[in-house]
Structure 1
Amino acid sequence: MKLQLNSTYLLMAFILLLIELTIAVIGGSGFIRHTFGDYLVVILLYALLRGCTTLGIWSSSLIVLLFAYTVEFLQLTPFLSYLNLEQHTLAKLIFGSTFEVLDIVAYTLGILSILILETKLFNPRTS
């Protein structure tokens, strides 16, 4: 893996970050904030990874999905307490505080969407 900037992916990551911030600020609670936000966050992380590295579609997808799963399963433990971050609002916003199976589904659907877009629509030769 080499570091290499890709302005298209970085622009996509920036736009997704703005959408995520908008959802966090005005989204309140419910489906849009919790489920759709989780769906978008894996796409954002994928775009960021692809925007900064030479990793391919499948490698980037797997790394992001495993990272998302790891963070979600860590929510079954008091890991924020271990890091002395249980009172930090930003840490709780980024890492979450409760495990939800629906979050796993949202992450999976986000990565599946990426794989479909990347391999079938944007670059059909890679499938």
Structure 2
Amino acid sequence: MLRFHPVYFLLTILFLTIEIIIAVYVNDRIIRPYLGDMLVVILIYCFVRTFLRMGVNSAILLVLGIAFVVEVLQYFNLIKFLEFQDSALAKTILGNTFSYEDLGMYLLGGFVIWGTEMFHRKRRFV
């Protein structure tokens, strides 16, 4: 079940770097809230696939489950409950505002992952 996949590791580093750049330098109404949410699902997927040997669909469902749980915890104001409301790092990692649009972007990220994986799988067997 455990393994190390170097390609997914490099993709994890790439998407983490992009997410950090977005978090630090981008403060707009499109890239940070929408593209950032979609990319975080891809980042977590690549991280999971770096260390766990699991199928594409299982990994996507796991990652979407994690993303949805974090979003629901935002609905219940977890940041305030944990008394991290003044922590910029906690707000960046956990978020602080529930949004149905975020859930949609997570799903879109899942579809992007699935489509990319299916494209590459098909190309390997041609």
Same fold by TM-score greater than 0.5: yes
Counterpart mapping for 1:1-127 below 5 A: 2-119=1-118, 121-124=119-122
Encode CA deviations 1:88-114: one digit per residue, 9 max, x unaligned. 110111111111111111100000010
Count of matched residue pairs = 124
Residue aligned with 1:30, SS: coil
The one-letter amino acid paired with 1:25 is V
| Post-superposition offset of 1:6 | 0.2
The one-letter amino acid paired with 2:29 is G
Distance in 2 between the 1:91 and 1:25 partners?
A: 14
- The percentage of counterpart residues that share the same residue type is 36
Encode CA deviations 1:22-78: one digit per residue, 9 max, x unaligned. 111111131101100000000000000001111111111000001101111111112
After TM superposition, the runs of 4+ consecutive aligned structure 1 residues lying more than 3 A away are none
What value does the CA root-mean-square deviation take over the aligned residues? Answer: 1.4
Stretches of structure 1 lacking an aligned partner (at least 5 in a row): none
Stretches of structure 2 lacking an aligned partner (at least 5 in a row): none
Normalising by structure 1, report the TM-score: 0.92
